[in-house]
Chains A and B, each alone.
Chain A
């Protein structure tokens, strides 16, 4: 893979092709993001649920009709959807993301406070998943049909059917309550300040759960693509030259198997976001994904629209990165396709 990467990245035409791909994808991403935001507004406007009730809570019974009307006017709830959307959209273009009604904070502040924690959780989870996949997938394909293979494949298929929140709850029951190794939930212990040790201790279980719940697709895919690359001509050639088994598998077969794997990781980003929503919710992790649930239950359009945009942008970025990586790493990929 090293030589391939060197020659590929070294040739200016491929880098230029990757650049063109980035531009084309950005051209696609902008309308998609606008449509997604507009879709959220349309859906919210069609909802029978009145956001003013959430804003006031039970105090709406004491509020006078004028006050309610004034708040409605201030929040712009009486405007038609298109006007609301335009106000919001022009605000976003000028850097004002609006105010989250459920968190009583500017949306920008909510996102800025919570996004880093989600990115931390999601990337740690992804790294865990990829590590599991590379180690177990290689081990399974190496001795196909052996006991490691049977065990890994069976566990993989079984785990595909287990939702992340079940995994999360069971791991809390075992590791936090049963064994008492790790804390149950939250970012830090109650009342203690944020420190690296505290966060790492609280991150371990959610990140492991997220990683393990994402791993079966990656493991099974890597196993399959390693199996097919093990029967390719260059691997047969390497074996025929008498190279050691370790070198054949790790240096000749694995690199070709990893290329489609990089693409798969890119397409798994939506599932990673989904998993993050559920895992954050179970572990009370203070990230943006858990805020989706809060925002949705409160029909908090400004926050919901931004969170939908963040998630969509993450998905588009993930698939873009995967495609760029494929172009740069694999000389066989048609760069202008």
Chain B
């Protein structure tokens, strides 16, 4: 990131000969093309997309094809990785490979739903605050500050613990703690949109406040909101995993990555490292792939610094 100075020679080599003046002009205009950087960004995007597609396909197909392979086998407890069980088996003799992929499916689904709920909530609050302004805005932003002042996982634990073992509670606990970032982004977007001439034009054309809101403001914030939703997915996966790991998240019969890791805690002490290592590696690769896609998208849509948008 930001390696403008260094990438100039690379980019001239890349564009070979006739392109040389162009890159000089770009540099003057402040929009250097940076060959290496662009190639790297493209590798990141396609690598992330490919990885995610492969993982999702595997998560959908492998548990379905494996059928009873992933079931309980007391004669095959805690077997180390072997060709037959590539990730080994767990304390109940279940194949960790099949189980981890099934868990990935649950984790991703819960995370995607939570991110969606969270984004809708955040976008609604942000739009109302930005569009109405005044006291509504101040009040809603104080609410955002208050929610932000409580550590997310703590609030999540409180919500989940009080309604233990329900999927809805997990989704709500993620959604209710993560909407504030979306609300802030959407609000500032709405505030800047309000200054645009086309909004003035709509108002002087006699559009009601509601019409301005849903015909002119809402469509304009959709890209930002969608991007926020994708950026939230890794956080949501993380949050769900942490809750399930603590034994407060999804009910035990739903194998999520967090449940698997929580179950594997004792197994690690018995030396069965594979029960932890492979599912967590799967988790890390998945979240990295999703954030890779989100980061490429963000760089394309919002040319802002990473730290400003890190949710």
Interface residues of A (CB under 8 A from B): 28, 32, 35-36, 40, 43-44, 46-49, 144-145, 157-158, 160-163, 165-166, 169-170, 172-173, 177, 184, 217, 220-221, 224, 227-228, 231, 264, 270-271, 273-274, 277-278, 281-282, 292-293, 296-297, 299, 304, 307-308, 311-312, 315-316
Contacts and interface: CB of A to CB of B under 8 A. Distances in A.
Contacts of B269: 172, 177, 184
Contact of B271 (A166, A177, A297): A177
Nearest to A165: B245
A191 B284 CA distance: 38
B124 to A, nearest CB: 20
Given A44-B162, A221-B307, A162 B157 contact: no
Nearest to B246: A293
Contact of B150 (A36, A278, A297): A36
A169 B261 contact: yes
Interface in B125-150: 145-146, 148-150
Contact of A43 (B1, B152, B158): B158
Contacts of A316: 149
Contacts, number: 140
B27 to A, nearest CB: 13
Interface stretch (B16-24, B80-88, B273-281): B273-281
8 nearest A-B residue pairs (beta carbon)? A296-B161, A47-B162, A274-B153, A166-B280, A270-B151, A273-B151, A161-B287, A173-B273
Interface stretch (B182-190, B191-199, B206-214, B234-242): B234-242
Given A47-B162, A169-B268, A173-B268, A293 B1 contact: no
B215 interface: no
Given A163-B238, A177-B268, 19 more contacts: A36-B146, A36-B149, A44-B162, A46-B162, A48-B163, A49-B163, A144-B3, A163-B241, A170-B276, A224-B306, A228-B2, A270-B152, A273-B154, A274-B152, A296-B157, A297-B247, A308-B158, A312-B150, A315-B150
Contact of A163 (B160, B242, B273): B242
Nearest to B292: A157
10 contacts: A40-B158, A49-B162, A49-B163, A163-B238, A163-B280, A173-B277, A221-B307, A270-B150, A312-B150, A312-B151
Nearest to A221: B307
Contacts of A278: 153, 242, 245-246
B162 A161 contact: no
Nearest to A178: B273
B288 to A, nearest CB: 5
B73 interface: no
A308 B268 CA distance: 31
Contacts of A173: 268, 273, 276-277
A157 B6 contact: no
A299 B162 contact: yes
A108 to B, nearest CB: 20
A166 B151 contact: no
